[in-house]
Amino acid sequence: MVAGWDAWRDVDVKTWVVPLPAGETSEEGDWHLRVHRIVTGGTIWACDGAFSVSGVKSDGSQRRLVGWDEELDEGVLTSHGDETTGASALVRSSVGTTGIRALYWSPMATVAADKRTEPRPEGRIINCSPNSNIMFPKSLLPTLQVELPPRSEPYWLVSAVFGIAGHNGKDLSWRRSWEERLASPLWLTHILNDL
């Protein structure tokens, strides 16, 4: 599926959504890719989100999920990544597990002349406004966020989006699926290598 969006006069976004087949530890449908091509004439914040889910503990307390609760096997995890691993954000609650991971972003290099570094996505969890999710009054949304300064060349961001319904106690199959090393489809790899 391909979608285009002219957000503002000087911002153009084109997105491809690509389902991924089952992997070594994941089921078919656990993951899909989003490939974003963004051209901007001004500084913008780009945010790509997974799925919003219930943001409260499953112990009945109605307390927000914060950090990781080993006993309940639920909570939130974020990573800002580094040069070899992309940023990520994950929420695991009583209704399921959802997350997002940056697989590729460009430009990725440091500009040596003025010591600037190019923008890199960060994994963040958004506390959604009350009742913004019709299923859950208190919800959380795993996101990748990046500030993009203006430039004539397009930015590229490839995100892997993860989602599994349900919470089977201490069943760790969700973790194996989340930690699986994903491979981009061959056609996408060829496109990204030509950038």
Encode pLDDT of 122-146 as tens digits: 999 999 888 888 888 889 999 999 9
Per-residue model confidence as pLDDT tens digits over 28-77: 788 999 999 999 999 999 999 999 998 888 877 767 777 888 887 888 88
What are the angstrom distances between the C-alpha of 161 and each of 7, 98, 110, 126? Answer: 22, 8, 27, 16
Residue 174 confidence (pLDDT):
83
Beta-bridge partner residues of 127? 140
Instruction: Find the domain containing 161 and state its range.
Output: 2-193
Strand ranges for the chain from DSSP E: 2-8, 11-19, 31-40, 44-49, 53-54, 68-69, 74-79, 88-93, 96-106, 110-111, 116-117, 122-127, 139-148, 151-165
Could you identify the residue written with the tokens 């959504």? 17
Total domains present in the chain: 1
Pairing of strands 96-106, 88-93: antiparallel
Q: Percent of the chain beyond pLDDT 70?
A: 86
Residue 112 confidence (pLDDT):
43
With beta carbons less than 8 A apart as the criterion, state whether 25 and 176 touch.
yes
Count of CB atoms within 10 A of residue 97's CB? 25
Contacts of 187 (CB under 8 A, 6+ apart): none
Q: Is the dihedral of CA 166, 170, 171, 175 positive or negative?
A: positive
Residue 195 has pLDDT above 70, yes or no: no
Scanning the chain, the segments in alpha helix (DSSP H) are 173-179, 186-193
Residue 100 has pLDDT above 90, yes or no: yes
User: Within its chain, how far is the Cα of 105 from the centroid?
Assistant: 12
- The structure tokens listed for 171 are 């069943």
Q: What is the pTM of this model?
A: 0.85
With beta carbons less than 8 A apart as the criterion, state whether 153 and 109 touch.
no
Using the 8-state DSSP alphabet, how is residue 145 labeled? E
- The structure tokens listed for 110 are 């440091």
Choose among 44, 24, 50, 20: nearest CA to 33: 20
